[in-house]
Amino acid sequence: MCGIVGYIGKQEAYPILIRGLQRLEYRGYDSAGIALIHNENLNVYKAKGKVADLVRFAEQQDIHGTIGIAHTRWATHGEPNQVNAHPHYSQSEELALIHNGIIENYAVLKEGLKEQGYTFNSDTDTEVLIQLIEFVKKSNKVDLTKAVQLALNQVVGAYAIAVIEKDQPDTIVAARKGSPLVVGIGEDEFFLASDATPIVEFTNQVVYVGEEEIVTLRRGQELKIRTISDVEKTPEIKKLEMTLTQLEKGGYPHFMIKEIFEQPKTLSDSMRGRVNIEENNITLSGFIDNKEKFLNAKRIIITACGTSWHAGLIGKYAIEEFARIPVEVEYSSEFRYRKPVINKDDIVIPISQSGETADTLAAVELAKSKGAFIFGICNVVGASIPRNTDSGCYTHAGPEIGVASTKAFTAQVTVLTMLALMIGKEKGTLSEEQYLRTVHELGQIPDKIKIILEQNEAIAQFAKTFTYAQNFIYLGRGYNFPVALEGALKLKEISYIHAEGYPAAEMKHGPIALISQEMPVVVIATSAGMYDKVVSNIQEIKARKGKIISVITEGDVVVKNLSDYTISIPDTEECLVPLLAAIPLQLMAYHIAVVKGCDVDQPRNLAKSVTVE
Ligand code: G6P
């Protein structure tokens, strides 16, 4: 939700900031803006829409300057228009601020500022914050860092902010609480961003700004960090593992299709050093380091949002099957507020691609406060959630840029499956024979995905048939039920076609009323996993003239003959079918959205990283 970027150094800031915004555009694309200091002027340029709209406007103006901040917005307070776009000026236009997050007590602060004679142009909470900083600065006669600190002490909410001051062209002040912020350290230059993607092409030395910390970036000086409660901190410099090529489309028309096609590699990366194919063995260091905790756990609670929640459901099936530990899968947004029972011997597993989702982060805090052991499954290294957990496991899917999650999902399922197998083996609740067979099969999954990807063209062809549809139903049972949910989510996210995932047998309790010859029904009917039952469910759809698109196991002619379209996937163990069945559904959603002319990588109203609740 909103991306922020900043630069101070020897280079022209504008191209660095614009490229940074383009990298962060996945976080929101309602409006974009930039502030630069040049020739003693603080110039602010803003545009409704995407970064490209900002570029068209800004390039008519003075875009010089070696210091600047920039923002791409996902609207919370105030509609997405030019006035509400960031940066926001203070009343005197001496300060400019960008913000990612929500200032919850903005209304009270705004009233107080109005009484002091401040006026407001926008509907945003952000403008209140910059006015407050100016008011505090002027009334206390302090420098910008101190003013930011004093102002933030009055603020309730979440933020990552950066502020610049017209008369201080050598300083950027930034701070965070609840929203992410990374500083890149170059030679006599600093970069600032919501994540490392705008920074990686310039330096691999970064500092992840901590909760309630304020950083002061001064030209030619060392990075300074103080907390909001005024404690000085020593910057901890970390090395980035990310590479630039991971952030580019590499010849594909969209990031989403690139990321779908990357899955054979990303799953190998997820398993690298963990699955030993020769010896049919799994070593997950996060598990080994905390083996006793897992073996003694009375219950596991998985907490996540969106696609990560779907991965969590598959994890539940695998952990309960192999490790015989009860697992609850919670929407983080519900879990954090509904006074859940959390015990000291519970293990809480937050799953998050970004590692920044506000609700999941809050769920982690809650579980921690109740003494549970927190084991994170995240993709982005160094993000807030992994930094707040006791232990965990990275998914190693590499940067995922397409807003609709694909490779991160299959990597999450892979890690959860490895975890379930390890606990089961160590607990003795899983037979040696099944363990060996499943680990062997897991090692084959990347090659089997390659076989499915060969059907891309065929899927693109039949996808054209379905652009007329207003609604879709996705059905699956057992491990394939969460796959149905995920397939439906992919379609609605990017093609704006309404789609619902259902357990196939539940269809009779409602959705069957929707079935007619216009209604496409996607059925995951693989031979591993209640095949006969699903075949009966297909018969029920057929009897009502629904259009059947089935995902079947290679060689199955029964379901093929009942279906209008089929996509076949190689056979595998039942618990691994989701890793294969998800692929054709991702491809189908992608191609339907492309034919409909939708913006696949940046679907309307969505953002990849939801850092507001
Ligand atoms: C947003 C994204 C989804 C993602 C969800 C959870 O809604 O658009 O793709 O699944 O957030 O994000 P996380 O980073 O926590 O996995």
pLDDT band at 130 (very low <50, low <70, confident <90, very high): very high
610 C-alpha to ligand 1 centroid (Å): 7
Ligand 1 pocket test: pick from 305, 486, 489 the residue with the most ligand atoms within 8 Å of its Cβ. Answer: 305
Burial group, residue 467, by CB count within 10 angstroms (0-12, 13-18, 19+): middle
Gap between the Cα atoms of 38 and 466, Å rounded: 53
Mean pLDDT of the 252-273 span: 95
For 76-80, 431-435, 584-588, which range has the lowest pLDDT when averaged over its residues?
76-80
**Which one of 303, 405, 406, 612 would you pick to mutate in the ligand 1 pocket, going by the greatest count of ligand atoms within 8 A of its CB?**
405
Q: Ligand 1 pocket: which of 335, 381, 608, 613 to mutate (most atoms <8 Å of CB)?
A: 608
Determine the average pLDDT of the residues in 400-416.
Answer: 96
Q: What does the alpha-carbon distance between residue 605 and residue 257 come to, in Å, rounded to a whole number?
A: 20
Which residue type sits at 462?
F
Atom of ligand 1 nearest to the CA of 307: 10
Cα–ligand 1 centroid distance for 242 (angstroms): 20
160-172 pLDDT tens trace: 999 999 999 999 9
Say whether pLDDT at 468 is over 90.
no
From atom 8 of ligand 1, which residue's Cα is the shortest distance away?
Answer: 608
H helices present in 324-402, as ranges: 332-335, 358-369, 384-387
**Residues 305 and 607: beta-carbon distance below 8 Å:** no
pLDDT at 610 over 80: no
State pTM to two decimals. 0.82
Spacing, Cα 367 to ligand 1 middle (Å): 20
Distance of alpha carbon 320 from alpha carbon 343, whole angstroms: 19
Q: pLDDT of 225-237, one tens digit each?
A: 999 999 999 999 9
Protein residues whose CB sits closer than 6 Å to any atom of ligand 1: 305-308, 352-354, 357, 360, 403, 405, 606, 608-610
Q: Are 349 and 303 in contact (CB under 8 A)?
A: yes
Active site residues: 2, 608
- Give the CB-side neighbour count of residue 215, counting CA atoms within 13 A: 33
Mean pLDDT to the nearest integer, 519-527: 94
Ligand 1 atom with least separation from CA of 357: 15
- pLDDT, tens digit, 9 for 90 and up, residues 304-338: 999 999 999 999 999 999 999 999 999 999 999 99
Q: How far apart are CA 581 and CA 570, in angstroms?
A: 9
- Whether the per-residue pLDDT at 607 is higher than 80: the answer is no
Distance 385 CA to ligand 1 centre (A): 13
DSSP-derived secondary structure letter, 456: H
- Residue ID of nearest Cα to ligand 1 atom 4: 306
Q: How far is the CA of 611 from the centre of ligand 1 (A)?
A: 10
C-alpha of residue 353 to centroid of ligand 1, in Å: 7
pLDDT-above-90 percentage for the chain: 80
Looking at the predicted structure, is the pLDDT value of residue 495 above 90?
Answer: yes
User: Residue 613: its pLDDT value, please?
Assistant: 73
